[in-house]
Each structure stands twice: as C-alpha cells, then as structure tokens.
C-alpha cells in the first residue's frame, strides 16, 4: 500500500551554477525560474499530478568560498530555507555538480555550509547530482565508489541519491 501525499515540500541547497533552477523547472513541469541569482530564498509553487508542490531554492554559495568568508545574509538564508515551507520540508535536495575537478577542495567548502543546518535535516536529505554528462560512460555508482568523500556524504543521507541530466529538456523520468 502506497501513501500519497497531497502536498510535497522541497528545499534545494547547493552552490551557484549547480543547476538548481533547472531542477525546479523539472519538478514543477514548467519554465518558472528566470535564471537570475537571488540573495534570498525563492519559493515557487505548482500542482503536479494532483499534488501541491512547494519548492524553496536557497541562494547558492560560491564553490571556492568558505562559509566564514560568505555574507551573513547568505548564511542566514541557508539556515532559514528549511523553515520556509512549514511545518518543514519532506525532502532537502543537496544539489552537487558532477563537473568538479576535485572533491578534496569542494569538501571543506561544502561541509562548512552543511554545518549551518541541524542534524535533523539528514533524515530528509537526498543528494542530487547534476550535469550527468560530465561522467561520460561511468555510472554514478562507479563514480561514488572512487570518491571517498561522496561515499560518506551519500551514506549520511541514508544512501538516497539521484542523477539529473541538465541538457535533456522535458524528460519527465527525472
């Protein structure tokens, strides 16, 4: 027996240019976001398959800028993102771009931003890898196995992850 929610609340977290707006477009099934950056959370709502969908996109951080060097507003908005869809999100999508050169350098920056959130968030977090094309013929499972940091992160999220191909338009299977 499957339980269907009549309302789904989702928060997207990730760096700038990770593909968050494309994901929102795909989730809502329309071209909703004008791809402008915002210093504050942006909430969009729609109806998909009879369900009310609320998506909150937190502002993105710079991939090479540690949390201690980011603005107070950015840190505050990331913290507040999970409370923007009361009583809380069903899912937090941690959007990670697959076209990074080194996860060693990304790790410290990413961890700094994730530490802004409470431990409770991990029970709702799904790692959403974007730019699948960057892997070529390698599967996401093979890729995760080669990256110790990603293995730990995916495990911390209860082994919940998905891969998103940003170039494919109107692919409802995603």
Length reported for the chain: 174
Cα(59)–Cα(52) distance, integer angstroms: 23
* pLDDT tens readout for residues 49-95: 999 999 999 999 998 888 999 999 999 999 999 999 889 999 999 99
Q: Is pTM beyond 0.85 here? A: yes
pLDDT of residue 18: 92
Cβ contacts of 21 within 8 Å, gap of 6 or more:
33, 35, 57
Domains of the chain: 7-163 (3.40.50.300)
Q: Is 102 in contact with 64 (CB distance < 8 Å)?
A: no
pLDDT of residue 13: 96
Cα 49–51–53 angle (5° rounding)?
Answer: 115
Cα(64)–Cα(104) distance, integer angstroms: 12
* pLDDT tens readout for residues 16-49: 989 998 899 899 988 755 666 788 999 999 999 9
């Amino acid at each position: 027996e499957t339980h269907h929610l009549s309302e789904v609340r989702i928060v997207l977290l990730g760096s700038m240019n990770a593909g968050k707006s494309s994901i929102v477009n795909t989730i809502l099934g329309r071209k909703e976001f004008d791809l402008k950056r915002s210093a504050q959370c942006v909430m969009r709502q729609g109806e998909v398959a009879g369900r009310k969908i609320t998506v909150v996109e937190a502002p993105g951080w710079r991939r090479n800028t540690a949390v201690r060097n980011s603005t107070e507003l950015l840190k505050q908005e990331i913290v507040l993102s999970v409370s923007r869809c009361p009583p809380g999100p069903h899912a937090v999508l941690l959007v990670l771009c697959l076209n990074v050169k080194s996860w060693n350098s990304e790790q410290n920056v990413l961890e700094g931003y994730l530490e802004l959130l409470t431990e409770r968030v991990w029970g709702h977090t799904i790692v959403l890898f974007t730019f699948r094309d960057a892997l070529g013929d390698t599967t996401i499972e093979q890729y995760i196995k080669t990256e110790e940091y990603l293995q730990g992160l995916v495990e911390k999220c209860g082994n919940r992850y998905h891969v998103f191909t940003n170039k494919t338009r109107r692919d409802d299977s995603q």
